[in-house]
A and B are shown apart, each in its own frame.
Chain A
Amino acid sequence: MSAIAVTTEKPPAWRRLIGFNLLTAIVLGIAGYLIGYWIGGRINTPSTAFFSAEAGENDISVFLGYGFGVIGFLIGLGFANYPVRRLLGYPPTLAEHESADEGLGRYFRLCTDHKVVAMQYMIGIGFFFAIGGLNAMLIRTELLNPNSHVFGANQYLTLVGMHGSMMMGMMTSSILGPFANWLVPLMIGSRRMAFPRIEAFTFWLLMAAGVILITTIFFGGFQTGWTGYQPLGSQGTAGYDAYVGFFALVGVSMTLLGFNLLATIITMRAPGMTWTRLPIFVWGVVSTAILMLLASPMLAAALFMGAFDRTVQTAFFVPGNGGSSFLWQNLFWVFGHPEVYIVALPGFGIALELLPVFCRKPLWGYRIAVAGMLGVTLLSFFVWQHHLFVSGINADLRPFYMLSTELISIPTGFIFLCAMGTLWRGRIRLTVPMLFVLGWAFNFLFGGISGVFLSDAPSDVTTHGTFFSMAHFHYTIMGGLVFTFFAAIYYWIPKMTGYKLSEVLGKVHFWTLFLAFNATFGPLFALGFMGMPRRVVTYPTSLQPLNDWVTVCAYAIALSMLVFLYNVVASLIFKREPEVANPWNSKSPEFQLPTPVPVHDFDRIPVFDADPYPYGVEPTPAPTVAPAGGTA
């Protein structure tokens, strides 16, 4: 695309490795960690009673190590260059390393092209998703037998916490990271995000966070699960510092991701792209971004409090010293429940975005779908205490939280209404993405209905904190988010990469995943009802057959994921069958662009005159976006 291709000779390979790139970043990150750790060691004076020197570890060192490490990592990537230039008063610029000439190198450094960042997100998130999944397999392996342990009891809890944190922390951005970053500019007709450097920053920060979480193994792990309840967390070894550092960085990354997406959608819609013409996926992004922007800072604040408790010995969560364990529960769930919808809403957006394409009908009830998403967004700030029905906290408010929680099923119902309306009398093509969307509908239905049991305070007394609630949120998150995540992958990856994915393998992947998923998590509802609490390393022997069944099915999920992995490697790396520009005959703007999408997306900012669902209108109107002519 770039008109001025500077034809200089390529320097030798070793020379190209020097500069602001991932390699430098890793080196500087490790150096920063060591420097921070050393400084922390200077600060710690064993004479004060404040520091837990007797524990043989120094939390200040660890936190400073993480802080300096992240800073070194970001400097190595080149994130400090622009701020320093601004500090010296040089005028603002927007783009860095966007030239297509840089080839694959762009993916290993700070690049502000939204498509590159999206692909970085895809790979990065996929990597951590695989680790989270591996943790799940190890958890299930441990639960094969109640009376003999594969892992130590504390290693098991670390696995549980790692799995939860990895999935809730990293997978939160699993759709907004790769897909919203890639799609939103194309869908609303801008060429970029409002703040491209912040866009890249969110990604690299998230990667740093993920690595920090993994380092917990070297510090003894953390035994708190992803909820990190205090004061249990403060008891933990330095492994809990990794949890705090991880989630704090995730909180910052999510805030900025939401901030950037929201700013883009508000300010950079192309002429004619009115609010009522926005693709429904963008509405899903809007509602999610609002939650991210406002809820994540509270998470960060709560974690900073926890970090202070562990280092400078404040007492936010130490009950005998003026703190309260309830404070953490409140702050965590004020963030935590919007978080749950942060992972659900993008799924709604993708499902409703894909249904019209494969039903060949306009989205049925566009406005009510938008109302549903915004309704969920609003209500999700008022439901958090349903996580605390039996905690003894504000027991007189339980009827209110029961009502608000159940009210949230009304806007969620709108999404189902729109899905059902869109299906009605369509010309349904059961492609792989469509299958995943249908799978989402089925799973989310059961996730939602089991949610009613949990929102009902009397019923919650038994189901709270058991495998029932665990099954419930896996139905909504794995059955909801992950299924739509795969729908999005099968739908957009050919467009994003320019290569076909195997449809046969895709269908194998869907059916094995769908069946194995339901065979795994369905019985967990029963296990919860039969009295199995979450996060236990052992359980009554009578529950072993069911647990073993679940474990075997969980392995089947892993195999199904391997099918997917094989499909990706075989199709995208080896076979490389070029895909046409619009394989699904979609009328969405992004599919009107050539494949691969040029660096600058559009030659000129498009003008929209309709929403992206003009199906069944005779004669079919011309594509709403003029194709970029640059490649012609």
Chain B
Amino acid sequence: MSSYGRRLVWVTLATAIVCVAIGLYIGLYLTNVPGSVAAAHVGPVTNLYLGTVPAAEPTDPHPTWVSYYVVSPTSTNWQHDTTFVLPANSLVHVTIYQFDGDSGLRNPFISQATGTVGGAFQLNGKTTQAIDPDDASHVFAIPQIGLSVPLEGVPDSAKNPCSNAPCPLSYDHETISFTFRTPAKGLYRWQCFVPCAAGYMLGFGGPMQTVGYMDGFIKVV
């Protein structure tokens, strides 16, 4: 082969490798973005069922991380997605099956529910406005619309705690439910405010800073 031809081959080869590498590189950034789930419509209100667990499934890339899940009404089917698609300007009834123990809040102010219809929520069927900040296990908050609901932790004395997802309702849990009005169309983020990321400084690393665990989006359509 001529010297020119050889160079051509090398350069073409190098270009191809570089293009593949760039594709892989961008792909690495694009992956691990969790999918979105539409909330179920039951009657006039939209229902959203969520579950919180102390650890994700053993097959998860981060099996030790706490996480939110989308669950079926009877907590049988668990889906690891944290973008919830909700209809705009309508009431959404959220039910959260809370399987995690308590961690306590950094800012006790968040122990009070705000932004829900009626300014309160149902804790195991009991209307509650605020909980003891030290008993909080997680918070479901959409700061952009002022929604914030503390989730009571399963007491340490629980006999049958769930260690990782999926958790059927037979395990000890707290059921929190509330209704809120969705805002206009757009993308809103939600997060947890309890320093629940075990093993990270201030409890706010890892799952607290990774969309797909204790953070996600509300996609209002």
Say whether A217 contacts B28, CB under 8 Å: yes
Say whether A318 contacts B199, CB under 8 Å: no
Say whether B210 contacts A154, CB under 8 Å: yes
A151 to B31, CA, bound (A): 8
1/0 per position for A140-162, CB-CB distance to B under 8 A?
A: 00000001111111110011000
**B200 on the interface (CB 8 Å rule)?**
yes
Say whether B210 contacts A569, CB under 8 Å: no
Query: Which one of A151, A217, A223 contacts B33 once the chains associate, using CB atoms below 8 Å?
Result: A151
Q: Given contacts A56-B64, A574-B7, are A154 and B202 in contact (CB under 8 A)?
A: no
1/0 per position for A543-577, CB-CB distance to B under 8 A?
A: 00000000000000000000000000100011000
**B43 on the interface (CB 8 Å rule)?**
no
Of chain B, the residue at the smallest CB distance from A148 is: B187
A154 to B82, CA, bound (A): 14
Say whether B209 contacts A235, CB under 8 Å: yes
**A231 on the interface (CB 8 Å rule)?**
yes
**A55 on the interface (CB 8 Å rule)?**
yes
Q: Which chain B positions have C-beta within 8 A of A54?
A: 64, 198-199
Q: Which chain A positions have C-beta within 8 A of B198?
A: 54-55
- Tell me the chain A residues, 145-181 only, with Cβ under 8 Å from chain B: 147-155, 158-159
Interface size in chain B (residues, C-beta < 8 A) = 33
Q: Given contacts A56-B199, A155-B33, are A573 and B11 in contact (CB under 8 A)?
A: yes
**B142 on the interface (CB 8 Å rule)?**
no
Q: Given contacts A134-B25, A152-B211, A574-B7, are A55 and B30 in contact (CB under 8 A)?
A: no
Of chain B, the residue at the smallest CB distance from A240 is: B205
**B201 on the interface (CB 8 Å rule)?**
yes
Say whether A56 contacts B63, CB under 8 Å: yes
A54 to B64, CA, bound (A): 7
Q: Given contacts A56-B63, A151-B29, A237-B206, are A134 and B22 in contact (CB under 8 A)?
A: yes
Say whether B202 contacts A52, CB under 8 Å: no
Say whether A231 contacts B187, CB under 8 Å: no
Say whether B30 contacts A223, CB under 8 Å: no
**B122 on the interface (CB 8 Å rule)?**
no
Say whether B200 contacts A235, CB under 8 Å: yes
**B65 on the interface (CB 8 Å rule)?**
yes
**A236 on the interface (CB 8 Å rule)?**
yes
A234 to B205, CA, bound (A): 8
**A138 on the interface (CB 8 Å rule)?**
yes
Q: Which chain B positions have C-beta within 8 A of A426?
A: none
Residue among B28, B200, B205 with most chain A CB within 10 A: B205
Say whether A149 contacts B187, CB under 8 Å: yes
**A220 on the interface (CB 8 Å rule)?**
yes
Say whether A235 contacts B33, CB under 8 Å: no
Say whether A158 contacts B29, CB under 8 Å: yes
Of chain A, the residue at the smallest CB distance from B203 is: A235
Say whether A235 contacts B204, CB under 8 Å: yes
A237 to B63, CA, bound (A): 14
**A461 on the interface (CB 8 Å rule)?**
no
Shortest C-beta distance, A165 to chain B (Å), equals 15
1/0 per position for A18-52, CB-CB distance to B under 8 A?
A: 00000000000000000000000000000000001
Q: Given contacts A152-B33, A152-B211, A154-B210, are A231 and B26 in contact (CB under 8 A)?
A: no
Q: Which chain A positions have C-beta within 8 A of B125?
A: none
A569 to B28, CA, bound (A): 28
- Tell me the chain A residues, 180-237 only, with Cβ under 8 Å from chain B: 217, 220, 223, 231, 234-237
Say whether A235 contacts B187, CB under 8 Å: no
**A53 on the interface (CB 8 Å rule)?**
yes
A138 to B210, CA, bound (A): 19
Shortest C-beta distance, A152 to chain B (Å), equals 4
Shortest C-beta distance, A544 to chain B (Å), equals 13
A45 to B2, CA, bound (A): 61
Q: Given contacts A147-B187, A573-B11, A574-B7, are A55 and B200 in contact (CB under 8 A)?
A: yes
Residue among A52, A231, A569 with most chain B CB within 10 A: A52
Q: Which chain B positions have C-beta within 8 A of A159?
A: 29
Q: Which chain B positions have C-beta within 8 A of A569?
A: 11
A53 to B64, CA, bound (A): 9
**B4 on the interface (CB 8 Å rule)?**
yes
Say whether A223 contacts B28, CB under 8 Å: no
Of chain B, the residue at the smallest CB distance from A309 is: B201
Say whether A153 contacts B205, CB under 8 Å: no
Contacts between chains A and B (CB distance < 8 A), count? 82
A266 to B40, CA, bound (A): 75
Shortest C-beta distance, B64 to chain A (Å), equals 4
Say whether B205 contacts A55, CB under 8 Å: yes
Q: Which chain B positions have C-beta within 8 A of A318?
A: 201
Query: Which one of A134, A151, A235 contacts B30 once the chains associate, using CB atoms below 8 Å?
Result: A151
A266 to B22, CA, bound (A): 43
Q: Which chain B positions have C-beta within 8 A of A220?
A: 206, 210
**B151 on the interface (CB 8 Å rule)?**
no
Shortest C-beta distance, B189 to chain A (Å), equals 8
Shortest C-beta distance, B205 to chain A (Å), equals 4
A52 to B202, CA, bound (A): 12
Say whether B199 contacts A154, CB under 8 Å: no
Q: Which chain B positions have C-beta within 8 A of A134?
A: 22, 25-26
A603 to B189, CA, bound (A): 69
Q: Which chain A positions have C-beta within 8 A of B209?
A: 154, 223, 235-237
Say whether A217 contacts B187, CB under 8 Å: no
A231 to B201, CA, bound (A): 8
Residue among B32, B65, B189, B215 with most chain A CB within 10 A: B32
A209 to B64, CA, bound (A): 30
A154 to B209, CA, bound (A): 7
A147 to B217, CA, bound (A): 11
Say whether A155 contacts B197, CB under 8 Å: no
Say whether A154 contacts B186, CB under 8 Å: no
A234 to B11, CA, bound (A): 43
Of chain A, the residue at the smallest CB distance from B189 is: A153
Query: Which one of B4, B62, B202 contacts A56 once the chains associate, using CB atoms below 8 Å?
Result: B62
Query: Which one of B29, B189, B205 contacts A138 once the chains associate, using CB atoms below 8 Å?
Result: B29
A573 to B210, CA, bound (A): 45
- Tell me the chain B residues, 1-42 only, with Cβ under 8 Å from chain A: 4, 7-8, 11, 22, 25-26, 28-30, 32-33
Q: Which chain A positions have C-beta within 8 A of B8?
A: 574
Say whether B25 contacts A155, CB under 8 Å: no
- Tell me the chain B residues, 185-221 only, with Cβ under 8 Å from chain A: 186-187, 189, 197-202, 204-206, 209-212, 215
A131 to B65, CA, bound (A): 31
Residue among A54, A159, A217 with most chain B CB within 10 A: A54
Shortest C-beta distance, B198 to chain A (Å), equals 4
Residue among A55, A217, A231 with most chain B CB within 10 A: A55
Q: Which chain B positions have C-beta within 8 A of A151?
A: 29-30, 33
Say whether A153 contacts B200, CB under 8 Å: no
Say whether B29 contacts A155, CB under 8 Å: yes
A480 to B197, CA, bound (A): 43
Query: Considering the complex of A and B, which 7 residue pairs feature the smallest CB-CB distances, nearest first?
Result: A55-B199, A54-B199, A52-B199, A56-B64, A235-B205, A54-B198, A234-B201
What are 30 A-B contacts with C-beta separation under 8 Å?
A: A52-B200, A54-B64, A54-B198, A55-B64, A55-B197, A55-B198, A55-B200, A56-B62, A56-B65, A131-B25, A134-B25, A148-B187, A150-B30, A151-B29, A151-B33, A152-B33, A152-B212, A153-B189, A154-B211, A155-B30, A155-B33, A217-B25, A231-B201, A235-B204, A236-B205, A237-B200, A237-B210, A573-B7, A574-B8, A574-B11
Additional A-B contact list (11), CB under 8 Å, known A234-B201, A235-B200: A55-B198, A134-B22, A134-B26, A138-B26, A152-B33, A154-B209, A217-B29, A220-B206, A231-B202, A237-B200, A237-B205
Report which A residues bind B (CB closer than 8 A). 52-56, 131, 134, 138, 147-155, 158-159, 217, 220, 223, 231, 234-237, 318, 569, 573-574
